[in-house]
């Protein structure tokens, strides 16, 4: 029996790390995200609203220093057929293309040590979003107007996650959930079918978002 245990240990030791890399640089990709988009216009969200699913939408680099990791990340936000209710659930429906990007810097603090590690993270950054769509009345499905929305501003994100180290700490996989506060400058331009401007409004708004899966990531760790 003892011999069997030694054989199993020899087989699995190369794949599992029992301690977190203390120093070095990591480069990685965000393979999956399931998050709320920032609200547009006077968007009304009811029970039917679900977060948006995105694949392979981020790249990052981490600088690891003992229990702290410092991160720089660039993410893409995009959905070609995004729709939402405006003002109320029975007022207007708006459908169009949502696209944007965000750049963040922040840090993560590891909680404990071992093969699986929980962590807390805080990020600050900048997000830029544009949306082009068509608005229709909900009841009559009648055309109302075309709309262009531009949003940009700062954000603060608080995260909690867990990560595991594999292949002698060369590969790390992590998953995290986040909440964020966004301080947006927003510009909304409505035009009719003749491309004549109906209205143009500008706002400064504070938005709150949840990110049930802020990122499922895989990274390669480079030792110093």
Please answer whether residues 172 and 163 qualify as being in contact, where contact means their C-beta atoms are separated by less than 8 angstroms.
Answer: yes
Residue 10 has what pLDDT?
Answer: 41
Q: In 3-state terms, what secondary structure has residue 7?
A: helix
Residue 22 has what pLDDT?
Answer: 54
How far is Cα 45 from Cα 195, in angstroms, rounded to an integer?
A: 29
The CATH number assigned to the domain holding 76 equals 2.40.160.20
Residue 15 has what pLDDT?
Answer: 37
How far is Cα 157 from Cα 126, in angstroms, rounded to an integer?
A: 11
Banded pLDDT at 3 (limits 50, 70, 90) = very low
Residue 18 C-beta-side C-alpha neighbours within 13 Å: 4
Domain span including residue 209: 2-222
Assess whether pLDDT exceeds 90 at residue 179.
yes
- 26-70 pLDDT per residue, tens: 999 999 999 999 999 999 998 878 999 999 999 999 998 767 899
Residues 6+ apart with CB under 8 A from 55: 31, 32
Banded pLDDT at 17 (limits 50, 70, 90) = very low
Per the structure, the count of domains in the chain is: 1
Residues 6+ apart with CB under 8 A from 136: 92, 93, 94, 95, 142, 143, 144
Structure tokens that stand for 35 in this block: 């998050």
How far is Cα 45 from Cα 166, in angstroms, rounded to an integer?
A: 41
- 78-108 pLDDT per residue, tens: 999 999 999 999 999 999 999 999 999 999 9
Q: Which pTM value belongs to this model?
A: 0.82
Could you tell me the CA-to-CA distances from 204 to 29, 41, 207 in Å, in that order?
Answer: 32, 12, 10
Mean pLDDT of the chain: 88
* Helix or strand (DSSP H, E) at 4: helix 2-12
How far is Cα 64 from Cα 218, in angstroms, rounded to an integer?
A: 15
Residue 9 has what pLDDT?
Answer: 41
Residue 14 has what pLDDT?
Answer: 40
What average pLDDT does the segment 75-79 reach? 95
- 155-165 pLDDT per residue, tens: 999 999 999 98
């Amino acid at each position: 029996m003892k011999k069997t245990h030694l054989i199993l240990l020899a087989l699995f030791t190369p794949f599992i790390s029992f301690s977190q890399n203390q120093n070095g640089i990591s480069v990685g990709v965000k393979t999956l995200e399931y998050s709320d988009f920032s609200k547009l216009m006077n968007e009304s969200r009811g029970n039917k609203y679900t977060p948006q699913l995105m694949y392979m939408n981020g790249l990052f680099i981490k600088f690891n220093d003992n229990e702290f990791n410092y991160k720089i990340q660039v993410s893409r936000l995009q959905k070609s057929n995004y729709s939402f209710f405006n003002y109320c659930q029975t007022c207007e429906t708006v459908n169009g293309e949502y696209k944007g990007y965000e750049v963040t810097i922040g840090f993560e603090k590891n909680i404990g040590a071992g093969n699986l590690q929980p962590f807390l993270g805080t990020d600050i950054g900048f997000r830029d979003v544009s949306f082009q769509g068509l608005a229709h009345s909900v009841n009559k499905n009648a055309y109302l107007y075309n709309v262009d929305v531009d949003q940009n501003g700062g954000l603060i994100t608080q995260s909690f996650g867990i990560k595991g180290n594999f292949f002698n700490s060369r590969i790390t996989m992590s998953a995290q959930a986040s909440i964020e506060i966004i301080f947006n400058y927003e510009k909304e331009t409505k035009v009719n079918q003749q491309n004549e401007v109906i209205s143009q409004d500008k706002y400064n708004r504070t938005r709150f978002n949840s990110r049930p899966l802020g990122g499922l990531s895989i990274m390669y760790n480079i030792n110093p």
